[in-house]
Structure 1
Amino acid sequence: MTELRDIDARQLRVLRTLLEERSVTKTAQLLEQSQPYVSLVLRRLREVVGDPILVRSGSKMVLTERGETMIEPTRAALAGIEKIVSVPRAFDPKLDEGTFRIASADCLEAFLLPQLVDRLRAAAPLSRIVIRAVDQAYDYAGALERDELDALISNWPGAPNHLKTARLLGEEVSCLFASHHPFASMERISIEDYLRAEHVAPVARSKADPGPIDSQLATHGLKRDIRVMLPEFTLIPYILQSSNLVFTSSRHFAQHFCSLLPLRSLPAPRECGSLGFHLLWHERSHVTGRNVWLRNQIMSIARGL
C-alpha cells in the first residue's frame, strides 16, 4: 500500500480539484496536466485511503461518502501548506494590534523611551506597549528566546553569542550634582576631586558586573566612594537636590534632569570612560517584518540624539 509520506502537495492539488470537479478530464484541463497523470494520482490516493473516492453513476462521476468528507480537510491542508511557504504580508503598523515588548537600561528612561513611546503610539495606534527594566534577576536572553520580549536596549558590554546586536549610540559621561555642591563652582572635575567625592549609584546588576562606570575605573586601578545605592535610576536626581552626593551617568540623562531640577552637571573625568548603548534581539525574529520595523524605530531615534 502507498504510504502517506508518498503524497505531496502537487498530488493534493489534484485531489482537491477532483473532489470539486468530479471529473478526471476537467481536472487535467484545469491543472494543465495530462489525463493519464491525473488518473495515476487518483489510483494512488485510492490505495492510500482504501476508498474509491470517485465512482461512476450513469453518465457522470460522483463522490463516495468518504470522498465527501475529504473536501474540507484537503482544502485546509493545502491552505496550510500555502501559508507555510508563502511570503508574509508586509508589516503595516497602522493595522497592528499586538504588543511591543521592550526591556531597557534605566538611564534611557528619561530621554530615549519617551520619544519611542510617542513614535510607536503615532505609527501603530492600535498596538500596546510594555517596557520593563532589566535587573539582575531578569533572564533577558531567555525572554528573547521564548518570544516574551521583542528587543532589549542595554548599556553593558557583551551579549550571549546567539543574540543579534547593533550599536545604538555612544555617550559621553557626566557628573550630576546639586547646585550647592562644591563641584558647582568648578570648571572641570579632576580625577582626584572625583575620588574624594561621595557618590550615589544604582544597585549593581551583580557582583561580577558592577556597572560600566565602576568597571571602567577598575581598569585604571581606581575605586570611587559609593555611599548610597538605589534601585530606581530615575529616583537618584531627586535625592541629589538636598545632598552632597554625585551621580555619574550619560550626558543626555544629566542634561535632561538639569532642565527639570536645580541640578548642575560637568563632564566626568576621562578615567570614567564613555557609555555605549546596544540593541539586542533574537535570531528567531531577525527577519520578521514586525521586529525589523520596531528595531528601525529604535535605531532612528538613537541616531537623532
Structure 2
Amino acid sequence: MMNDAVLRKVDLNLLLAFSVLMQERNVTRAAERLFLGQPGLSAALRRLRETLGDELFVRVGRTLQPTPRALSIAPAIEDALAGIERALRPADAFDPARWQGELRIATCDNLESSFFGPLLARLRQEAPQAKLISVAFDGRNVARLLDEGAYDFSISVHDEPSSWHVRAPLFEQTSLCIYDGRHLKCPARLSLKNFIGAPHVNVSIAGTSATHVDAALARLGHRREVVATVPHFSALPMTLQAIPAIATIPEYMARCMAQQHDLTISEPPFELPADAVTMLYRRVDQADSRAVWLRRLTVEVVRDALSASGSRVEVSTDACCYD
C-alpha cells in the first residue's frame, strides 16, 4: 500500500524534472525540454534536494554528475513516470469488429418486439463476435439493476433518475387503436361511439384493466368495456383475430402488428397523452467508447425501424452523444 504521507511531500513535477536532468545531465538542455527557465529548474532541483535529503547532482565542468542516491532511485522513478504516462493516454478507440463480449439491454415487451431483431441484425454486421442479451424490464428495480451492471442501459418510460444516472430522450410514444376488420365492422377512422361500443383488450404486466385510456375517457364522461387483459403484446394478434375487440397500444407496435397480421389500425377518437420513451444509463458510462457506440447503434436502429413502420415519430440523438 502506498504511503500517502510520503507522497504528499512530493510534487510530481519535481520527479519529472529529476528524470529529465538524469537524461540530459545539463541544466540548460533540461530546462529547454521542460519549457522552464534555468532559474525555475534550479529552484525545482533545490526543492528535490530538500525533499530527498541528498545533493542528487554535482556540477562537473559543464555537466551534472548524479550521486549514488540519484542513481539508485532513478530506475524506480522512470518506471513510475512511465506508468503514469500510460495511464493518462487517451483510451484506444473501440473496435466493434474485434470486440468479444456481451451487450445487455433492458426493455419492455413492445419495444423488444419492434427493435430487438433489427438491432441484432446490425450487431451481427458490425460486431460479429459480440452477443446481444435482452433483459426483461423491471420498472420497480430498474435503477438498482442498472447500478449492479445487469445491463448497459434500459429503454422505456422512466421516472426521474438519480444524479448518477443519465435519462436521455429517445422518442414520444403515441397510441393507435388496432383490431381485426373482419370481425369488427367499423369505419376507417373510429368514432367515439364505435370505440365505446366495442369490447377492449388491454396489455398489462401487472394485470390491471384500467389504463391511461380509461382515465382519458373518464374526463369525457365515458367508459369502455375491458373484456380481457394480457401480460404481453405477443398475445394480442391471436386474441384480436379470435374476437371482435379493440386494443389501444403504442403506434410503432400497432403498425408492425398490423403489417404482420393483417389487422386494421385507426387513430383514437379522442386525445391521448404521449409518453416519453427514454434511454437510461449510468453516468460513469457516458464517455465510454463501447457504451457510446452501442447507444449510437441502438438509436440508429430505432430510428430506421420506426421509419420503416410508417411512424412519423422523430428519434432524438441525445442518447448517443457525449459533450
How far 1:191 moved relative to its partner?
2.5
Q: Which deviates further from its counterpart, 88-97 or 104-113?
A: 88-97
Match of 2:7 in 1: 4
Distance in 2 (CA, whole Å) between partners of 1:8 and 1:148 is 41
Match of 2:46 in 1: 40
Match of 1:290 in 2: 290
Pick aligned residue for 1:116 from 95, 119, 122: 119
How far 1:128 moved relative to its partner?
2.6
Letter in 2 for 1:192: K
Match of 2:300 in 1: 300
Letter in 1 for 2:230: L
Aligned pairs, how many? 291
How far 1:27 moved relative to its partner?
9.6
Match of 1:89 in 2: 92
How far 1:196 moved relative to its partner?
3.3
Checking the alignment, whether the CA contact within 8 Å between 1:204 and 1:211 is kept in structure 2 is no
Alignment of 1:71-220 (within 5 A): 71=75, 75-76=79-80, 78-80=82-84, 82-84=86-88, 86-137=89-140, 139-154=141-156, 156=157, 158-160=159-161, 162=163, 163-183=165-185, 185-204=186-205, 212-214=212-214, 216-217=216-217, 220=220
Distance in 2 (CA, whole Å) between partners of 1:97 and 1:25 is 50
Q: Which deviates further from its counterpart, 186-195 or 33-42?
A: 33-42
Distance in 2 (CA, whole Å) between partners of 1:157 and 1:191 is 31
Letter in 2 for 1:43: R
Letter in 2 for 1:189: L
What does the per-residue CA deviation read over 1:146-190, in whole Å, with 9 as the maximum and x for residues that have no partner? 444332222x3643263433432335422222354224x432322
Checking the alignment, whether the CA contact within 8 Å between 2:200 and 2:247 is kept in structure 1 is yes
How far 1:206 moved relative to its partner?
9.3
Alignment partner of 1:100: what SS? strand
- How large is the Cα RMSD of the aligned pairs? 4.0
Alignment partner of 1:152: what SS? strand
Identity of aligned residues (%): 23
TM-score, normalised relative to structure 1? 0.72
How far 1:216 moved relative to its partner?
4.5
What does the per-residue CA deviation read over 1:123-151, in whole Å, with 9 as the maximum and x for residues that have no partner? 223333222232344x2223334444332
Distance in 1 (CA, whole Å) between partners of 2:276 and 2:51 is 62
Alpha carbons of 1:217 and 1:279: their partners in 2 closer, same or farther (altered >3 Å)?
A: farther
TM-score, normalised relative to structure 2? 0.69
Letter in 2 for 1:202: V
Alignment partner of 2:91: what SS? coil
What does the per-residue CA deviation read over 1:71-120, in whole Å, with 9 as the maximum and x for residues that have no partner? 45862465246524x43333333333343322223222233232222223
Match of 1:261 in 2: 261
Match of 1:277 in 2: 277
Checking the alignment, whether the CA contact within 8 Å between 1:169 and 1:302 is kept in structure 2 is no
How far 1:5 moved relative to its partner?
0.5
Distance in 2 (CA, whole Å) between partners of 1:54 and 1:169 is 65
Checking the alignment, whether the CA contact within 8 Å between 1:100 and 1:128 is kept in structure 2 is yes
List gaps (5 residues or longer) in structure 1: none
List gaps (5 residues or longer) in structure 2: 59-64, 308-323
Alpha carbons of 1:239 and 1:121: their partners in 2 closer, same or farther (altered >3 Å)?
A: same
Distance in 2 (CA, whole Å) between partners of 1:146 and 1:157 is 18
Q: Which deviates further from its counterpart, 33-42 or 283-292?
A: 33-42
Alignment partner of 1:128: what SS? strand
